[in-house]
């Protein structure tokens, strides 16, 4: 059975399609420079509409009938609009394989977007003249701004065609159209009379069009993301309009250069002047805000239709420097540019604002160099910067929710990560503003595996490859110029990847680099995320993409013991160089989340059919459609599951172990600030960066996510957090190959004497095997900022008789009163580490010849653990801080309590999300006590109506389930 728009609502018991168009909404365009998005859309398939788009774009056209679907949002793909209109419901679509039942044929024809609006001019124009004065310089002009429509579109306004699909092409093809005549031809022009706009969006083919594809990450959206996924804005100006605007800082010395291109939209010459002002604290400006610095240009004459470039330089004394979150604060500034021109009425002349624009920016400097070993090393404000991040995924229907993204960003930082990579999913402008404010680095770039990389030398695309035409290069130019202009001033930008799996050809490279330069780009431009090749104009990118993408054991990352193994073709994704997208897969959601999108039969398949292809894995054609590699390791290492609960507990342990090792491996192999040497002759090439594949899922997925679609963090999340110090910038990692403790210091200024304690016990009875510290035999350890180094061999690992637990603790001194900086527990096998078959590696994993064994964990004696609430603080009403609860865990037994998890729930027993725990999935040694803090983020994110946590559920490998009432 196939679901179409006509049948979906009845099947899913949804509300009927909303009545057609509501009353036209007013766009508030009071002053020159004001911008407003088209606020809502009515959508319908062109197969059901007989009127031509030009006629439909006339105010009051008969199109507004009950056959149209009303989406009360300013931006949505066709399918996103149908969701917003209530035609479909994502809870139902995401359940089991329901999404596969959608009839995709209905989206193989163009769809129409229509909106009626009014223009609320509010007050008389600044000169006191009417809106349409006879003076060209004081007349009002209107510009329609697109920010990309997937993937091609015709645009009509008030009966006039504004753009065709040749020009308005590409998901990132932003353009500005002068629509003054179309607005003037509308019904009554301004002051409450209606205008109408129609967009005809053509269906997207990922191999033919510049869209936003998902490769094999998840099922494709039924409409392939077609439609108005970003805002279409209407802007009001006078004759002299700002076409482009960039803010360039000279490193961190306080010099700010404002560059802009302005155009005379009028039919007569006009004199204009420009003024730029710098304000502290990015964001909206109040009239009372005092500028830190202002600079003006002399009056300049501009002929009809002529453009000119403005360059103004201002200086900010003692500027506050912007840092990524792990290294400092995130002070922001705002640059405001205003152009003014004379205005003449019948009674007087004056100078009025013709256009204005603002941009937020920060003082920071990002650089990169590529070593002779072809490894890229980034630096920020002169400090070597190890990139530790994840690959971000947009919502599968390209829906944007700022609060939801901020939760993603906060989770990323809470894990200890510092970067997200955007592979062709460059989202909305708000993303960069949030990243700026939070101190999260962003690495955007074009995507792989479709039209964006349709080069004759791309062997991975279906043949024949739809290589670029002249029109495609034009689309790429418009796309790069738009994205560069949108992103350019943001201090969170780490660079731009002009290629992903493949590098652009010379013509595209010239287009990309020229567009970036014209925009005042101030971050590295990288040829690609792989080492397949590069354009001469850019040189090697310095990033590797050899996998893995599926499960590998913890020792995989450390198995580089001599120079011969430190090679991209020998040890693939191991912890050296810069891994642009790799990881051990994983990211299994907990049962509470799984029940939201899997049927009972689906849940049974997880553990009863371990090799079966699963709809919520990757697509059927992908190597990752099943969990065979992960499950084989799970069965061999942890033992065959006896139930769904047993399977899910073991998956959380496996995920935790795998993600922790990946990030610890890279952190441990960073060396001395990127290893004083980043050359091929180094016996251990430094690990300069890891982008985990992936950070999150575009929909509810069974793998490739560090937290699930419902924002519930589990084993994979807390494995990463443990790897990076559970909130501390200093921690100790375990090197599985060298059987040693590695001191990692990710700060830029923390130093002093440290002590590392290593305690090894039997998991079964808690008996001590070894207990050593770095202070033994008068040895001390000194913390060195921005470095990692081996500090302590672990005794007893080679002679284990059964599964053992290793606790590594870092203390801020050697005195008995020294505080704990970090603490982490590992489970180690008596059989040693897994034996890897490196010679049998492929692009997505390295097979294991012999597995480690943890089956005896199933036979652990029960541990008596109690949990109690210590303190509880309510959230601030202004959202400045979150609700916070402290839980005290105590192990009263002589045996360890293994892998104890805590989950905050509401009055209905449902998970409370988003939340952050100071630590989770913890292992308590005999008679150990720990306090853990949970924060509820809803209030801080402005999420209204979120349920409050009322209880904490506690469980573990050998711990009875319990509930703590708060």
Asked if 415 and 296 sit in the same domain, the reply is: no
State the pLDDT at residue 840.
Answer: 98
> Tens digit of pLDDT for each residue in 53-82?
999 999 988 655 668 999 999 999 999 999
Q: Which domain holds residue 808?
A: 730-827+855-859
Answer yes or no: is pLDDT of 18 > 70: no
CB 901 within 8 A of CB 921: yes
Burial of 131 (0-12, 13-18, 19+ CB in 10 A): middle
Q: Report yes or no on 138 lying in a domain.
A: no
> Tens digit of pLDDT for each residue in 200-215?
999 999 999 999 999 9
CB 452 within 8 A of CB 479: no
- Annotated catalytic residue within 223, 374, 501, 708: 501
Residue with tokens 């009554």: 188
Name the pairing type of β-strands 787-793 and 740-745: antiparallel
| Whole-angstrom distance, CA of residue 787 vs CA of residue 570 | 26
Is residue 132 classed as helix, strand or coil in its secondary structure? Answer: coil
> Tens digit of pLDDT for each residue in 303-339?
999 999 999 999 999 999 999 999 999 999 999 999 9
Answer yes or no: is pLDDT of 919 > 50: yes
Burial of 289 (0-12, 13-18, 19+ CB in 10 A): middle
Asked if 754 and 685 sit in the same domain, the reply is: no
Question: What kind and span of H or E run contains 859?
Answer: none
pTM score over 0.85: yes
> Tens digit of pLDDT for each residue in 155-196?
999 999 999 999 999 999 999 999 999 999 865 455 568 999
Distances (CA, A) of 733 to 198, 666, 744: 58, 10, 7
| Whole-angstrom distance, CA of residue 668 vs CA of residue 686 | 9
Domain end among 333, 361, 389: 361
CB 791 within 8 A of CB 811: no
Q: Report yes or no on 218 lying in a domain.
A: yes
| Whole-angstrom distance, CA of residue 814 vs CA of residue 153 | 68
The pLDDT-based confidence of 677 (bands split at 50, 70, 90) is: very low
Distances (CA, A) of 355 to 141, 260, 359: 10, 12, 14
State the pLDDT at residue 508.
Answer: 99
Asked if 712 and 592 sit in the same domain, the reply is: yes
| Whole-angstrom distance, CA of residue 916 vs CA of residue 411 | 7
Distances (CA, A) of 316 to 168, 255, 259, 884, 891: 40, 6, 17, 39, 57
CB 827 within 8 A of CB 762: no
Residue 911 annotated as catalytic: no
Closest among 576, 751, 811 to 670, alpha carbons compared: 576
State the pLDDT at residue 250.
Answer: 87
Asked if 790 and 902 sit in the same domain, the reply is: no
Asked if 507 and 612 sit in the same domain, the reply is: yes
Asked if 71 and 218 sit in the same domain, the reply is: yes
- Which value, to the nearest 10 degrees, does the dihedral of the CA atoms of residues 598, 603, 604, 608 take? 120
Give me the number of domains the chain comprises: 5
Asked if residue 779 has a cis previous peptide bond (ω within 30° of 0), the answer is no
- Looking up residue 102, the CATH number of its domain turns out to be 2.60.120.260
Burial of 909 (0-12, 13-18, 19+ CB in 10 A): exposed
State the pLDDT at residue 775.
Answer: 66
> Tens digit of pLDDT for each residue in 851-906?
999 999 999 999 999 999 998 887 665 555 678 999 999 999 999 999 999 999 99
CB 936 within 8 A of CB 879: no
Domain end among 665, 700, 723: 723
Q: What is the DSSP string of 733-790?
A: EEETTTTEEEEEE--SS--EEEEEEEEEEETTT--EEEEEETTGGG--EEE-SSEEEE
Domain end among 190, 207, 229: 229
- Helix%, strand%, coil% for the chain, nearest 5: 20, 30, 50
Asked if 387 and 432 sit in the same domain, the reply is: yes
- Annotated catalytic residue within 154, 231, 374, 581: 581
> Tens digit of pLDDT for each residue in 891-914?
999 999 999 999 999 999 999 999
Name the pairing type of β-strands 730-735 and 687-692: unpaired
Q: Which of 91-95, 473-477, 709-713, 947-951 has the lowest mean pLDDT?
A: 947-951
Asked if 225 and 244 sit in the same domain, the reply is: no
> Tens digit of pLDDT for each residue in 526-569?
999 999 999 999 999 999 999 999 999 999 999 998 888 889 99
Asked if 546 and 494 sit in the same domain, the reply is: yes
| Whole-angstrom distance, CA of residue 384 vs CA of residue 365 | 12
Q: Report yes or no on 716 lying in a domain.
A: yes
Residue 778 annotated as catalytic: no
In terms of DSSP H, where are the helices of 107-256?
Answer: 180-184
Phi, psi of 720, deg, nearest 5: -65, -45
> Tens digit of pLDDT for each residue in 264-302?
999 999 999 999 999 998 555 655 567 888 999 999 999
| Whole-angstrom distance, CA of residue 708 vs CA of residue 867 | 26
Asked if 766 and 886 sit in the same domain, the reply is: no
Q: Report yes or no on 846 lying in a domain.
A: no
Averaged pLDDT of the chain: 92
Q: Report yes or no on 838 lying in a domain.
A: no
| Whole-angstrom distance, CA of residue 28 vs CA of residue 11 | 41
Asked if 809 and 717 sit in the same domain, the reply is: no
- Looking up residue 743, the CATH number of its domain turns out to be 2.60.40.10
Q: Report yes or no on 81 lying in a domain.
A: yes
For residue 145, what are the β-bridge partners? Answer: 176, 233
Question: What kind and span of H or E run contains 194?
Answer: strand 194-202
Q: Report yes or no on 33 lying in a domain.
A: yes
Is residue 687 classed as helix, strand or coil in its secondary structure? Answer: strand
Q: Report yes or no on 843 lying in a domain.
A: no
State the pLDDT at residue 883.
Answer: 87
Q: Is the dihedral of CA 26, 32, 36, 41 positive or negative?
A: positive
Asked if 297 and 445 sit in the same domain, the reply is: no
């Amino acid at each position: 059975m196939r679901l179409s728009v006509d049948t979906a609502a009845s099947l899913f018991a949804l509300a009927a399609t909303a009545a057609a168009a509501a009353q036209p909404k007013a766009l508030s365009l009071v002053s020159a420079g004001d911008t407003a998005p088209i606020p809502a859309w009515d959508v319908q398939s062109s197969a059901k509409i007989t009127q031509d788009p030009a006629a439909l774009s006339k105010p009051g056209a008969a199109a507004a009938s009950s056959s149209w679907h009303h989406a009360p949002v300013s931006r949505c793909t066709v399918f996103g609009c149908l969701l917003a209109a209530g035609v479909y419901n994502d809870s139902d679509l995401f359940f089991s394989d329901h999404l596969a039942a959608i009839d995709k044929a209905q989206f193989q024809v163009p769809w129409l977007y229509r909106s009626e609006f009014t223009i609320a001019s509010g007050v008389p124009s600044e000169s006191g003249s009417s809106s349409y004065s006879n003076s060209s310089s004081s007349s009002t002009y209107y510009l329609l701004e697109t920010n990309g429509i997937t993937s091609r579109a015709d645009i009509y306004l008030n009966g006039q065609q504004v753009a065709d699909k040749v020009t308005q092409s590409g998901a990132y093809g932003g353009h500005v159209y002068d629509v003054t005549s179309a607005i003037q031809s509308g019904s009554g022009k301004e002051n409450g009379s209606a205008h109408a706009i129609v967009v005809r969006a053509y269906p997207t083919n990922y191999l033919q069009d510049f869209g936003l594809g998902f490769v094999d990450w998840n099922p494709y959206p039924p409409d392939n993301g077609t439609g108005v996924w970003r805002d279409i804005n209407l802007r009001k100006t006078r004759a002299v309009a700002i076409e482009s605007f960039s803010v360039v800082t000279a490193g961190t010395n306080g010099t700010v250069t404002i560059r802009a291109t302005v155009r005379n939209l009028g039919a007569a010459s006009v004199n204009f002047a420009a003024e730029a002002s710098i304000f502290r604290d990015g964001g909206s400006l109040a009239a009372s805000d005092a500028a830190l610095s202002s600079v003006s240009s002399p009056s300049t004459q501009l002929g009809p239709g002529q453009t000119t470039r403005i360059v103004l330089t201002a200086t900010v004394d003692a500027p506050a420097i912007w840092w990524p979150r792990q290294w400092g604060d995130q002070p922001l500034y705002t640059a405001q540019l205003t152009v003014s021109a004379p205005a003449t009425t019948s009674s007087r002349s004056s100078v009025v604002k013709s256009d204005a624009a603002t941009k937020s920016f920060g003082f920071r400097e990002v650089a990169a160099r590529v070593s002779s070993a072809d490894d890229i090393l980034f630096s920020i404000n002169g400090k070597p910067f190890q990139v530790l991040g994840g690959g971000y995924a947009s919502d599968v229907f390209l829906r944007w929710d700022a609060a939801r993204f901020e939760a993603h960003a906060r989770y990323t930082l809470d894990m200890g990560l510092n970067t997200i990579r955007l592979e062709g999913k460059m989202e909305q402008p708000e993303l960069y503003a949030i990243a700026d404010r939070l101190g999260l680095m962003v690495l955007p770039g074009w995507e792989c595996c479709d039209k964006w990389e349709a080069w004759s030398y791309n062997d991975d695309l279906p043949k024949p490859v739809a290589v670029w035409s002249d029109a495609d290069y034009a689309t790429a130019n418009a796309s790069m110029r738009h994205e560069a202009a949108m992103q350019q001033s943001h201090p969170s930008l780490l660079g731009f990847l002009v290629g992903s799996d493949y590098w652009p050809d010379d013509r595209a490279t010239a287009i990309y680099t020229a567009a970036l330069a014209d925009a005042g780009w101030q971050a590295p431009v990288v040829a690609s995320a792989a080492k397949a090749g590069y354009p001469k104009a850019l040189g090697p990118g310095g990033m590797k993409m050899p996998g893995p993408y599926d499960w590998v054991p913890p020792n995989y990352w450390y198995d580089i013991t001599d120079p011969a193994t430190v090679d991209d073709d020998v040890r693939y994704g191991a912890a050296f160089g810069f891994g642009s997208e790799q990881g051990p897969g994983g990211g299994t959601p907990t049962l509470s989340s799984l029940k939201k999108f899997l049927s009972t039969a689906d849940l049974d398949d997880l553990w009863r059919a371990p090799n079966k292809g699963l709809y919520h894995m990757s697509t059927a054609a992908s190597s990752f459609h099943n969990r065979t590699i992960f499950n084989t390791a799970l069965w061999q290492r942890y033992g065959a599951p006896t139930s769904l609960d047993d399977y899910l507990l073991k998956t959380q342990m496996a995920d935790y172990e795998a993600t922790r090792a990946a990030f610890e491996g890279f952190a441990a192999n960073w060396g001395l600030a990127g290893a004083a040497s980043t050359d091929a002759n180094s016996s251990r090439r430094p690990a300069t960066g890891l982008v985990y594949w992936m950070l999150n899922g575009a929909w509810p997925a069974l793998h490739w996510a560090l937290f699930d679609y419902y924002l519930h963090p589990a084993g994979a999340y807390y494995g990463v957090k443990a790897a990076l110090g559970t909130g501390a910038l200093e921690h100790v990692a375990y090197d599985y190959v060298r059987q040693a403790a590695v001191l990692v210091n990710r700060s830029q200024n923390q130093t002093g004497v440290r002590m590392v304690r290593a305690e090894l016990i039997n998991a079964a009875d808690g008996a001590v095997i070894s207990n050593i510290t770095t202070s033994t035999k008068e040895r001390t350890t000194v913390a060195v900022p921005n470095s990692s180094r081996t500090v302590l061999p672990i005794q007893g690992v080679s002679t284990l008789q059964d599964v053992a637990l290793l606790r590594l603790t870092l203390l801020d001194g050697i005195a008995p009163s020294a505080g704990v900086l970090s603490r982490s527990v590992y489970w180690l096998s008596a059989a040693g580490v897994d034996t890897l078959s490196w010679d049998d590696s492929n692009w997505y994993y390295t097979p294991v010849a012999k597995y480690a064994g943890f089956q005896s964990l199933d036979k652990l004696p029960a541990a008596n653990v109690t949990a109690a609430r210590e303190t509880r603080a309510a959230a601030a009403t202004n959202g400045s801080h979150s609700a916070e609860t402290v839980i005290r865990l105590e192990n009263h037994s002589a045996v360890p309590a293994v892998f104890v998890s805590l989950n905050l729930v509401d009055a209905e027993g449902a998970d409370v999300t988003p939340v952050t725990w100071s630590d989770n999935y913890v292992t308590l040694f005999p008679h150990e006590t720990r306090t853990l803090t949970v924060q509820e983020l809803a209030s801080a994110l402005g999420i209204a109506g979120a349920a409050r946590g009322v209880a904490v559920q506690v469980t573990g490998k050998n711990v009875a389930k319990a509930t703590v009432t708060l």
